Structure 1
């Protein structure tokens, strides 16, 4: 009888975890060696994967490193001349099951959708925990003495087991900035410009800001949608929406009228989705089949209308290679056009009609002249300044290229000067224009270098409510650069943000909270926020459910709880009671954030655990372990384990 290595669960009779001695004795010696050899091959295979998606890179490298520590063990076993003991065969079968799960997980993190891996980071983290537990389970009963393994190899395997146990006890080390950005992107109901800063940061963090990266992600997402076959439609739609936003930021045209699963298909091909279009026939910008391909200075080929729009927007680089163009001439690619025509004729495909491209590049020069004229008016008489700052606010609102042109024309120092003008509307338009300009990464440093931050903070202190709100949003946008976090904190930018958090409108509170979260990623700013009194208004946000800012408040409080001054203020009795109420009645995300914060507080001071027990948290944690999301389950389990070490446990 042969033992089958399957992916079944522990209740599956064919699962290796259920191997008994009667089965083991009937395995041939060749089959024993095959199991060991397959483990060696898996280690070699995962070693060839190379890099992994940024969001899970650390976990992947840790897992691969641990698996490689087992290679000497497998080599020694493979060289043994005598048959393997029954106990060892059972352990190696369990180990193969763990290795298969690890291989599948690593493959997902190697070539899966970057957006999916960020959006489902908690679920993926749960899979890493599961793989580590399977590895630990397989190695716990390994009969080293019966195998005759050398002391050196045995010590190496024991080292790996120790690392696995430490990994099990360790709290999550997730990228809290990425988690917050993702939460804000999908929870904000108002689609304002400040969100663009978050989107650009997300795009950079996920490495989805160039045309080739976005094209590769589109292919992976299309495959993911096909595999899901309509399941988890809400998450799928979130992935599609975020991908389209990233494409818009990168200057890639959206495919109007059809979804991401048809991302490479013009309408003429919708009836033949299985038809594979050669990659060379697709425009790198629109990702659609080209009707009028042209060659630019770098030798790359694009659809004429697409590359013209790119150039008319002020770009002087190749979208694919990012190299500066030596000239802006477009040469028709007749050879490729003929190949596309022959292919379309062969497969009976009708090409879409050509767009009117008679405008040429004149629009670009006219646009630049308009911006130059408006910037000049910023230093003119008062009426011209009023009109100019409104115009710049509008020009910088939607078009990323305009932001670069406006800054290049020297608008930033003039806008900073208008921040001190006594007229409130001019202040509002000037600070909002700086907010819009700051969405460009290069402009962030230009604005800070021009010493705009003190003036923006002053508007945040004394301006109209709209000006204060947009000042807070501007500080958030600027604070995505680490050195600007330090500058804003040292220039006392945190106190007026706390004031806005306390007394602002709903929009103002959200802007202040987002900025405070970003600034509190800096260690010195955590202490500044606590001393300024940020904690009481954050606790108040937890009480007012109508604001819909519970998750944001808990995320900031989690950062402030990392320092002694923070958890000393946060861990008051009334707050512990609020956390318990959120664990009991909050949304799934509320519960997850609340139990994570309570665990952080409890690990610092067991008094907080005892207080939570008095408020009846125990039964709600049991329920969360059974029905919560992956991260909530893990946090609740860790909290229950910690409670068992305290003196008073129900």
Structure 2
């Protein structure tokens, strides 16, 4: 775009002005802070600090050099990338940002690297910059280099709250405390908030994430539960959205005799209101029965766009299905048959939505699983693994067909490929809550733990993820803890890949919610390992390690073990330099060990804890303020810092 620029004041300075305008827009646009991720805040802050550089460059009277212009081009590209990710945080799905936190973190990491490389190339010696601006830019440059070297995944507690919400059977069985806390932190407390989130989700269906059926299903499930919470908590009930809860006021609502069905809710083939909308490879949505009939007659094109379909997989459009349900309720239209929430309803209703072709395929795969021929069994388990990932209907149908005991029997196979497919298929089946109890009752825990100990690395990682999924049911935490899973998870936390370590840490956190498992985790020597992760932020697991330590610090043995490790200095560093959530957990852990042994209060004072604790007590999160004030009171009572 800028390859033909002349090195003249008339060309270069307007270019600089355009960069300044974008920087000012980012700095002043409060909408970018709609969902205040720490990565967003850091990126905006650094871009604001860089702005004076370009303001001074704008005042340079001599033409810019070719090298300076090339560096500006690179910075402009990086700025465009920054604007894109910030706009995703502004107008995209908040629930997507939490559930796909690793992906979002990686995008911020890419932007950080681009900005750092652009500043690397800037010829500072050729620019007449003031000392103040030069020092400020060098500071930001150093921050970008440090940030590039570590990839942290934020919002762990929000993610864990989301997993807890998803683990509940339906909106009425969900822990209202967790749901309210989640709604408050996510700023999804009103009908308008939820409608905005629904529109953002609709955009996801036309993006590359449309194929992630499980993700769309999870987001829709959480939205359904949040809507139920709004019905209960809202002080200004919307009569259109919540008509069934306001039957006594029906006379105040004017119902049109024959409401016009929105075009987006009509099938492009039948032009009727859709009851089971599905997405084809081109991103278009159709009524399942209509598009299936079209495909069954030999067509391999999209009826609306006439494009050739890359594949003929039909992905349920859960978001549109939910929107149609809301519209029907609002306008007094009978809800279409087979319509239902993706996280509620009877299993038979889901099973009935599986096409005859898929049902026949599942039956055939189960025959192969029963054949005793390992190659056929491995291939069948691999196919079931894929089918179980695609939709909740498939999960129900596969479980009802009797696949779970057959898959469990493959966990003890000497064929590592069969093991891997089997444990991953069970992981995908366990996403549907009723299947969790079926899997445990069928005797899966001990074989899964054996895979966790001896399987391939991918199988071990998926075994850890399966144990996490099963452990969201409280009674399963006890069973899994007694099976010997915790030492095996600690081994994976020590030896695994980055993904494996994250899966192990998440499973350990969830299992340690049960008091009896805390002692098991401490006895498995997890605390020295967690302290290593805290001391090595480049590994990108600080948040996960702190979360596990914080829950173990509520147990007597955990307090002793954390206190015995060289923990005080590390915790104070995190309270001083960490992100808000890190500071909060670090303060909670430090308070727990100080209450257990007053010697740690003296050590904390020696390491300079007083000033950062005063800062945290004034400017931390609510929980962090409470912990910091309690620590300061402990110090005052002992006179350790006097």
Specify whether residues 245 and 400 from structure 1 end up closer, same or farther in structure 2 by C-alpha distance, changes over 3 A only.
Answer: closer
The whole-number CA distance in structure 2 between the counterparts of 1:458 and 1:189 is: 31
The whole-number CA distance in structure 1 between the counterparts of 2:223 and 2:365 is: 24
The whole-number CA distance in structure 2 between the counterparts of 1:434 and 1:388 is: 13
The whole-number CA distance in structure 2 between the counterparts of 1:279 and 1:208 is: 32
The whole-number CA distance in structure 1 between the counterparts of 2:539 and 2:398 is: 36
The whole-number CA distance in structure 1 between the counterparts of 2:427 and 2:602 is: 46
**Does 2:442 correspond to 1:479?**
no
Please, what TM-score do these two structures have when normalized by structure 2? 0.53
CA contact (8 A) 2:167 2:473 kept: no
| Equivalent in the alignment of 1:100 | none
1:369, CA displacement in angstroms? 1.0
CA contact (8 A) 1:541 1:550 kept: yes
| Equivalent in the alignment of 1:145 | none
**Does 2:458 correspond to 1:466?**
yes
The whole-number CA distance in structure 1 between the counterparts of 2:612 and 2:349 is: 67
SS at match of 1:574: coil
| Equivalent in the alignment of 1:402 | 394
Specify whether residues 223 and 511 from structure 1 end up closer, same or farther in structure 2 by C-alpha distance, changes over 3 A only.
Answer: closer
1:624, CA displacement in angstroms? 2.1
SS at match of 1:422: coil
The whole-number CA distance in structure 1 between the counterparts of 2:257 and 2:640 is: 66
Instruction: Give the stretch that moved more between structures: 314-323 or 368-377.
Output: 314-323
The whole-number CA distance in structure 2 between the counterparts of 1:455 and 1:553 is: 27
| Equivalent in the alignment of 1:429 | 421
The whole-number CA distance in structure 1 between the counterparts of 2:345 and 2:353 is: 23
**Does 2:636 correspond to 1:644?**
yes
SS at match of 1:642: helix
CA contact (8 A) 1:119 1:182 kept: no
| Equivalent in the alignment of 1:588 | 580
SS at match of 2:638: coil
The whole-number CA distance in structure 1 between the counterparts of 2:462 and 2:545 is: 20
The whole-number CA distance in structure 2 between the counterparts of 1:477 and 1:387 is: 24
**Does 2:400 correspond to 1:379?**
no
1:282-321 alignment to 2 at 5 Å? 318-319=339-340
CA contact (8 A) 1:203 1:209 kept: no
1:246, CA displacement in angstroms? 3.9
The whole-number CA distance in structure 1 between the counterparts of 2:621 and 2:465 is: 32
Specify whether residues 586 and 420 from structure 1 end up closer, same or farther in structure 2 by C-alpha distance, changes over 3 A only.
Answer: same
Specify whether residues 499 and 249 from structure 1 end up closer, same or farther in structure 2 by C-alpha distance, changes over 3 A only.
Answer: same
CA contact (8 A) 2:445 2:480 kept: yes
The whole-number CA distance in structure 2 between the counterparts of 1:224 and 1:561 is: 39
The whole-number CA distance in structure 1 between the counterparts of 2:463 and 2:615 is: 43
| Equivalent in the alignment of 2:437 | 445
User: What do residues 424-449 of structure 1 show as CA deviations (whole Å, max 9, x unaligned)?
Assistant: 11111111111111111011011101
| Equivalent in the alignment of 2:560 | 568
The whole-number CA distance in structure 1 between the counterparts of 2:258 and 2:546 is: 49
Specify whether residues 427 and 383 from structure 1 end up closer, same or farther in structure 2 by C-alpha distance, changes over 3 A only.
Answer: same
1:327, CA displacement in angstroms? 11
Q: Once superposed, what is the RMSD of the aligned Cα atoms? A: 4.8
User: What do residues 247-276 of structure 1 show as CA deviations (whole Å, max 9, x unaligned)?
Assistant: 545899xxxxxxxxxxx9xxxxxxxxxxx9
Specify whether residues 511 and 246 from structure 1 end up closer, same or farther in structure 2 by C-alpha distance, changes over 3 A only.
Answer: closer
1:365, CA displacement in angstroms? 1.2
Q: How many residues align?
A: 394
The whole-number CA distance in structure 1 between the counterparts of 2:347 and 2:473 is: 29
Whose Rg is larger? 1
User: What do residues 361-415 of structure 1 show as CA deviations (whole Å, max 9, x unaligned)?
Assistant: 9971111111111121111223321221111111111312111111111111111
Specify whether residues 196 and 635 from structure 1 end up closer, same or farther in structure 2 by C-alpha distance, changes over 3 A only.
Answer: closer
CA contact (8 A) 2:575 2:582 kept: yes
1:26-175 alignment to 2 at 5 Å? none
| Equivalent in the alignment of 2:136 | none
| Equivalent in the alignment of 2:16 | none
| Equivalent in the alignment of 1:201 | 164
| Equivalent in the alignment of 2:193 | 221
- Out of 188, 201, 220, the residue aligned to residue 102 of structure 2 is 188
1:183, CA displacement in angstroms? 11
Please, what TM-score do these two structures have when normalized by structure 1? 0.52
Specify whether residues 249 and 614 from structure 1 end up closer, same or farther in structure 2 by C-alpha distance, changes over 3 A only.
Answer: same
CA contact (8 A) 1:595 1:636 kept: yes
| Equivalent in the alignment of 2:515 | 523
**Does 2:481 correspond to 1:509?**
no
Structure 1, unaligned stretches of length 5 or more?
1-115, 121-180, 227-241, 253-263, 265-275, 297-303, 329-360
Specify whether residues 377 and 504 from structure 1 end up closer, same or farther in structure 2 by C-alpha distance, changes over 3 A only.
Answer: same
The whole-number CA distance in structure 2 between the counterparts of 1:522 and 1:531 is: 15
The whole-number CA distance in structure 1 between the counterparts of 2:550 and 2:525 is: 15
CA contact (8 A) 1:318 1:325 kept: no
Specify whether residues 568 and 217 from structure 1 end up closer, same or farther in structure 2 by C-alpha distance, changes over 3 A only.
Answer: closer
The whole-number CA distance in structure 2 between the counterparts of 1:204 and 1:396 is: 17
- Out of 607, 619, 630, the residue aligned to residue 627 of structure 1 is 619
| Equivalent in the alignment of 2:359 | 368
CA contact (8 A) 1:209 1:246 kept: no
The whole-number CA distance in structure 1 between the counterparts of 2:551 and 2:617 is: 24
CA contact (8 A) 1:199 1:246 kept: no
Moved over 6 A (4+): 116-120, 181-184, 195-198, 223-226, 276-280, 309-316, 320-328
The whole-number CA distance in structure 1 between the counterparts of 2:393 and 2:555 is: 42
SS at match of 2:534: helix
CA contact (8 A) 2:166 2:222 kept: no
The whole-number CA distance in structure 1 between the counterparts of 2:547 and 2:97 is: 10
| Equivalent in the alignment of 2:546 | 554
CA contact (8 A) 2:528 2:565 kept: no
The whole-number CA distance in structure 1 between the counterparts of 2:470 and 2:101 is: 22
The whole-number CA distance in structure 1 between the counterparts of 2:164 and 2:512 is: 17
The whole-number CA distance in structure 2 between the counterparts of 1:187 and 1:295 is: 33
1:611-626 alignment to 2 at 5 Å? 611-626=603-618
Structure 2, unaligned stretches of length 5 or more?
1-33, 39-94, 106-157, 174-178, 199-213, 225-239, 241-253, 276-284, 293-313, 319-336
